[in-house]
Amino acid sequence: MTLNLTVSPDFAPDHISGWFIFNTWLQRQLGTGVHLELYDCFDAQRKDIKAGKFDLVYANPFDASMLVRELGFKALVRPISKPDETIIATHKDAAIQSVEDLKPGATLVTTDDPDVNRIGMIMLEPADLDASNTETLAVDSYVIVAKNVLNQNADVGFFLKDAYDELSDLIKNQMKILVSSEISVVHHTLLLSPKLQKYASTIQQRLIKMIDDEKGRSVLESMNLLGWEAMTEEETEFMIDLIDTLIDE
Amino acid sequence: MPEHDVKDVRDIVINYHDGTSRKAIVLDREVPYPEGKLIVSRTDTQGVITHANQAFVEMSGYTEDELIGTNHYILRHPDMPSVAFAGLWETIEAGNKWHGYVKNLRKDGAYYWVKATVIPNIRNGVVVGYTSVRRKPSRSKISESEALYKTLS
Ligand SMILES: Cc1cc2nc3c(=O)[nH]c(=O)nc-3n(C[C@H](O)[C@H](O)[C@H](O)COP(=O)(O)O)c2cc1C
């Protein structure tokens, strides 16, 4: 048997090698082949997930919703102390001091990260801004978002907080943060497909214990994670319900 | 209450739909919505609070212990028309998502405006409770809602 693993494309490129190291570690732990496939675009990945290509998915919270409710996946673990938070930042010399200073016609620069974009749009609502009265420039990475903010090609940029924090000081010093989310209960999860549920507890236990030995810890470090903690079905449902309230339809 | 102008303080009795009532103080003082936060609570199918996050506790002015097990109407502000909540319950009991602007009453009598979304929690096809998540509303939506609610109450 070979387990097919994929990872949400929203982590910093520096940690790509970490996921390959994790792949090897998991293979040894389970005594079975694990194949890691990475994507640089959310849509292409989602299409392949829906086509049943993957058994194990490290998913952003919005995709987790689709994986659980539509495809019957179950969340095994979440990364410890790593909530997904969103930052809206502007050029340090910009006249705006708060989100409410933004006016209709404002320009945004974003990646195609669905959860950051949704939370970002929610944080623009106090200024009566939405997709209909803003213009969005979508780019491939948070570094490019930052470049566009620095060149003042857009009024504000949306960032995953983790990605913002990893930008160089040189870049960060030229931006100011207008708002930073503090949601704390929305985070990535590692989910297992319905057809492999008989391995759920083995995989979950191995991941939770990863932090207990030196090898496991070094793998975690290369992925920029502190460790994994178990997620119960109700915790997963709670998070998905919460995300559901953030999607306007 | 020395820091408030006496004229701004109203002692009122709030009557709830279930026949109970309580005395409350109402102040004309708004507490700003906390930046970047979501105010989250969950209830059972009757609207009794089963979970409240930290932002909820801070904004309501009650302790978590005071909130859990209490009916959500504890936050009802007398300026909110009952038709707004009738619409809420009709929508969620039909299994749908409800959005609305709500003026909430804090324990200390002050108020805060939210944009609320309420959804049913469905487990194995059964509604087991409801989740409400609030975000920061715009001033223009607050003004519109104030004007609308005046005509309804
Ligand atoms: C999940 C959930 C959250 C609610 N949150 C509020 C709230 O924040 N403020 C409020 O006044 N009513 C809230 N309600 C509505 C109350 O249950 C109640 O209908 C309302 O306060 C009016 O009470 P009354 O009809 O007894 O006067 C909520 C209901 C549910 C199901």
Q: Tally C-beta pairs within 8 A across A and B.
A: 57
Contact between A249 and B97 using a beta-carbon 8 Å cutoff: yes
In this predicted model, what pLDDT tens digit does every residue of B70-105 receive, in sequence order?
A: 999 999 999 999 999 999 999 999 999 999 999 999
The pLDDT assigned to B2 comes to 45
In this predicted model, what pLDDT tens digit does every residue of A129-139 receive, in sequence order?
A: 999 999 999 99
- Higher pLDDT pick, A162 / A177: A177
Of A137, A160, A180, which residue sits at a domain end? A180
Tell me the whole-structure pTM to 2 decimals: 0.93
Same domain, A109 and A173: yes
The domain that holds A154 is classified in CATH as 3.40.190.10
Buried b (16+ CB within 10 A) or exposed e, B68-94: eebbbbbbbbbebeeebbeebeebbee
With 0-12 / 13-18 / 19 or more C-beta atoms within 10 angstroms meaning exposed / middle / buried, residue B66 is middle
DSSP letter assigned to residue B19: S
Same domain, A9 and A74: yes
The pLDDT assigned to B89 comes to 97
Same domain, A25 and A77: yes
Give B55 to chain A, closest Cα distance, Å. Answer: 9
Q: How many domains does chain A have?
A: 2
Same domain, A115 and A232: no
Q: Domain B30-152: state its class.
A: alpha beta
Question: Residue A55 to residues A4, A188, A219, B33, B135: CA-CA distances in angstroms?
Answer: 5, 16, 21, 42, 35
Same domain, A65 and A96: no
Res B3 pLDDT > 50:
no
In this predicted model, what pLDDT tens digit does every residue of A68-127 receive, in sequence order?
A: 999 999 999 999 999 999 999 999 999 999 999 999 999 999 998 989 999 999 999 999
Same domain, A142 and A205: no
Same domain, A72 and A91: no
Cβ-contact A239, A64 below 8 angstroms: yes
Same domain, A229 and A155: no
Q: Which one of A179, A245, A246, A248 would you mutate to disrupt binding with B, by most B Cβ within 10 Å of its Cβ?
A: A245
- Out of B35, B42, B55, the one facing A179 most closely (by C-beta) is B35
Question: Residue A89 to residues A100, A120, A123, A186: CA-CA distances in angstroms?
Answer: 13, 10, 12, 21
- Provide DSSP, B90-147: HHHHTT--EEEEEEEE-TTS-EEEEEEEEEEEEETTEEEEEEEEEEPPPHHHHHHHHH
Taking CA–CA distances from A128, the nearest residue in chain B reads: B138
Res B50 pLDDT > 50:
yes
Percent of chain A at pLDDT > 90 equals 90
Contact between A125 and B38 using a beta-carbon 8 Å cutoff: no
The pLDDT assigned to A145 comes to 97
- The position carrying tokens 């903010």 is A149
Residue to probe by mutation, ligand 1, list B16, B17, B76, B121, most atoms within 8 Å of CB: B76
- Selection from A138, A140, A116 nearest residue A61 by Cα: A116
CA A184 – CA A82 distance, rounded (Å): 8
Same domain, A165 and A232: no
The pLDDT assigned to A21 comes to 96
Ligand 1 nearest-atom number relative to CA B42: 1
The pLDDT assigned to B44 comes to 98
CB atoms within 10 A of CB B65: 9
Give residue B1's pLDDT band: very low, low, confident or very high (50, 70, 90). Answer: very low
Range of the domain at A152: 86-180
Q: How many helices and strands (H and E) does chain B possess?
A: 4, 7
In this predicted model, what pLDDT tens digit does every residue of A14-41 receive, in sequence order?
A: 788 999 999 999 999 999 999 999 998 8
ipTM of the complex: 0.92
Give B59 to chain A, closest Cα distance, Å. Answer: 15
Contact between A183 and B38 using a beta-carbon 8 Å cutoff: yes
Same domain, A61 and A134: no
Cβ-contact A99, A124 below 8 angstroms: yes
- The position carrying tokens 């939506």 is B141
